[in-house]
Amino acid sequence: MDLFGGADLSGEKPLNGVYYEKATDLFVSFSRGRRYKEWPAKGCTFDREWQERIKRERAI
């Protein structure tokens, strides 16, 4: 029972953190399920190892 309308009763957890979006070739950060910031994968200044790991493990 959700008395105040703030609880997520659907059972799915919202996205949090940085993900790689295949369709747009962007790194996208999410906070509480909302899109927060985007970085293009090409020309990205993040560490190359980190980029490859995110592309493998957190692709959406």
Q: What residue ranges do the domains of the chain occupy?
A: 17-57
Q: Is the pLDDT of residue 9 over 60?
A: no
End-to-end distance of the chain based on CA atoms, in angstroms? 31
Query: Rounded CA gap, 14 and 25, in Å?
Result: 21
Burial class (CB in 10 A: 0-12, 13-18, 19+), 29: middle
Q: Is the pLDDT of residue 6 over 70?
A: no
- Which residue matches tokens 């399920």? 33
Q: Is the pLDDT of residue 10 over 80?
A: no
pLDDT in tens, 39-56: 999 988 899 999 999 999
The tokens of 25 are what?
């070739």
